[in-house]
């Protein structure tokens, strides 16, 4: 029994590293590489710089996967925490309370992140990144706790297929568009315009609206499938084969996403079903690579930089909104910016902001201060 508990509660170093890698890009990583592209003019870096800005509507670039990758990672974690709580004899009621509490707190933090402390409730923006993570993860966790694997798979595909069919059957014509997948003609935006309180992010559309949270539940479920697969005893003595299975599943999802794109465009704003499959496949492939290198081959030292970030992701996300890291960066690195040619400025500024943010997290890491919800 002790052996089972130990395996259930073992922390995946690769998961913390991947979470940190994900957050690295929004705490300064994109500025570093955009600065490098400007500094060097190398075609590969100039191409990569184009991957660090969101697409306006249909399509996909790397930056569009930072958000769903985080939700996917949160999904992976749940089977481990659920197994740990079960092994510690926590009641189902207490686990339900924790799941719902976490979902609600993330929604509230998302509202705070968007608006600060404001009291004009009718003008606040209620849709948020944290809110979507909270709601999608919460509903996925409730599905996970109350169904067997086969029904979880039915939920995963059912949500995606029904979401797609509803777009086709009920296009929105209230703003004049006849394209069911356009910004003004899609069902998700129409429903959000009708029922979401406050203001929408783009006036007539919110990328973190209510209706498009439905397929995001499948993103979280996909992470939970991955966590459950890792937690199972299946192929425990053949880790390379386990890795290969995950890689094959990742590629299969990417292929499905690309094929589905022909009928339902890959679109982060709509969190389209093809987007869930395409980005889910990339997320699973990235995790598979991190898991192979870090937890199977045991090459860990290189990942410490990312782990420090990955252990406090919500902290740095909120801190970037509240704390002026730019001013601290200029205080410590302003002299370098002044003496170097102007072409170096974007690169040095990116390095500076990332360094200040990382040192802040490292101090918290050394003090064992982690924001957990």
Question: What is the pLDDT, as a whole number, of residue 175?
Answer: 65
Higher pLDDT, 264 or 202: 264
Alpha-carbon distance of 215 to 280, in angstroms, equals: 12
Contacting residues for 293 by C-beta, under 8 A, at least 6 apart: 14, 299
| CA 205 to chain centroid | 20
Average pLDDT over residues 136-158: 97
Alpha-carbon distance of 307 to 15, in angstroms, equals: 9
Taking alpha carbons only, the member of 229, 213, 222, 210 closest to residue 74 is 222
Per-residue pLDDT tens over the stretch 289-345: 999 999 999 999 999 999 999 999 999 999 988 888 888 888 888 888 888 888 899
Here the tokens at position 362 are 């490292």
Across the chain, mean pLDDT equals 91
| CA 270 to chain centroid | 15
Q: CB of 257 within 8 A of CB of 65?
A: no
Sign of CA dihedral 125, 28, 280, 221: negative
Alpha-carbon distance of 52 to 252, in angstroms, equals: 25
Average pLDDT over residues 121-147: 94
Question: What is the pLDDT, as a whole number, of residue 266?
Answer: 97
* Packed helices 2-9 and 66-87: angle between N→C axes, nearest 10 degrees: 160
Here the tokens at position 357 are 């943010």
SS3 at position 80:
helix
Question: What is the pLDDT, as a whole number, of residue 366?
Answer: 94
Question: What is the pLDDT, as a whole number, of residue 128?
Answer: 93
Taking alpha carbons only, the member of 221, 223, 227 closest to residue 10 is 227
**Looking up tokens 């390095």, which residue turns up?**
351
Alpha-carbon distance of 201 to 209, in angstroms, equals: 9
Alpha-carbon distance of 141 to 111, in angstroms, equals: 22
Here the tokens at position 130 are 């944290």
Q: CB of 191 within 8 A of CB of 171?
A: no
SS3 at position 140:
helix
Alpha-carbon distance of 48 to 104, in angstroms, equals: 36
199 has a pLDDT exceeding 50: yes
Q: Which of 25-29, 72-76, 333-337 has the lowest mean pLDDT?
A: 333-337
Alpha-carbon distance of 164 to 161, in angstroms, equals: 5
Q: CB of 321 within 8 A of CB of 358?
A: no
DSSP state letter for 25: I
Question: What is the pLDDT, as a whole number, of residue 371?
Answer: 86
Query: pTM of the predicted model, to two decimals?
Result: 0.92
Taking alpha carbons only, the member of 141, 2, 129, 146 closest to residue 77 is 141
By CB neighbour count within 10 A (0-12 exposed, 13-18 middle, 19+ buried), where does 258 fall?
middle
Question: What is the pLDDT, as a whole number, of residue 2?
Answer: 38
232 has a pLDDT exceeding 60: yes
Question: What is the pLDDT, as a whole number, of residue 10?
Answer: 66
Per-residue pLDDT tens over the stretch 271-295: 999 999 999 999 999 999 999 999 9
In Å, the largest CA–CA distance within the chain is 64
Alpha-carbon distance of 115 to 360, in angstroms, equals: 24
**Residue 285 phi, psi dihedral angles, 5° rounding:** -65, -45
Res. 3 pLDDT band, cuts 50 70 90: very low
Question: What is the pLDDT, as a whole number, of residue 1?
Answer: 33
Alpha-carbon distance of 134 to 338, in angstroms, equals: 43
In which region does residue 271 sit, left (phi positive, over 0), alpha (psi from -120 to 50) or beta (all else)?
Answer: left
Alpha-carbon distance of 215 to 4, in angstroms, equals: 34
Res. 93 pLDDT band, cuts 50 70 90: very high
Alpha-carbon distance of 83 to 10, in angstroms, equals: 11
Sign of CA dihedral 213, 218, 219, 220: positive
């Amino acid at each position: 029994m002790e052996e089972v508990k130990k395996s259930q509660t073992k922390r995946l170093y690769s998961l913390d590293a991947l979470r940190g890698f994900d957050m690295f890009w929004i705490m300064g990583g994109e500025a570093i590489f955009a600065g490098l592209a400007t500094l060097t003019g190398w075609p590969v870096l100039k191409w990569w710089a184009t991957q660090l800005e969101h697409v306006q509507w249909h399509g996909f670039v790397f930056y569009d996967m930072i958000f769903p990758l985080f939700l996917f990672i949160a999904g992976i974690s749940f089977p481990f925490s659920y197994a740990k709580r079960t092994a510690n004899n926590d009641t189902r009621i207490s686990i339900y309370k924790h799941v719902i509490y976490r979902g609600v707190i993330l929604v509230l933090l998302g509202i705070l992140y968007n608006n600060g402390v404001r009291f004009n409730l009718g003008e606040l923006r209620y849709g948020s990144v944290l809110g979507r993570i909270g709601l999608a993860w919460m509903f996925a966790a409730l599905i996970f706790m109350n169904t067997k694997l086969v029904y979880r798979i039915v939920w995963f595909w059912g949500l995606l297929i029904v979401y797609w069919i509803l777009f086709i059957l009920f296009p929105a014509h209230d703003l004049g568009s006849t394209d069911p997948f356009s910004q003004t003609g899609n069902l998700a935006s129409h429903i959000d315009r009708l029922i979401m309180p406050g203001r929408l992010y783009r006036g007539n559309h919110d990328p973190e609206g209510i209706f498009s949270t439905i397929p995001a539940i499948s993103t979280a479920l996909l992470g939970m499938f991955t966590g459950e697969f890792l937690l199972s005893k299946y192929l425990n003595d053949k880790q390379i084969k386990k890795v290969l299975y995950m890689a094959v599943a990742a590629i299969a999802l990417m292929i499905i996403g690309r094929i589905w794109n022909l009928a339902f465009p890959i679109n982060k704003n709509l969190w389209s079903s093809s987007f869930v499959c395409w980005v889910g496949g990339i997320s699973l492939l990235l995790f598979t690579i991190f898991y192979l290198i870090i937890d199977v081959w045991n090459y860990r030292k290189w990942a410490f930089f990312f782990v420090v970030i990955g252990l406090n992701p919500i902290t740095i996300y909120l801190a970037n909104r509240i704390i002026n890291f730019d001013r601290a960066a200029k205080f410590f690195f302003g002299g370098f910016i002044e003496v170097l040619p102007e072409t170096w400025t974007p690169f040095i500024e990116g390095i500076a902001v990332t360094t200040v943010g990382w040192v802040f997290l490292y101090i918290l890491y050394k003090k064992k201060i982690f924001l957990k919800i």
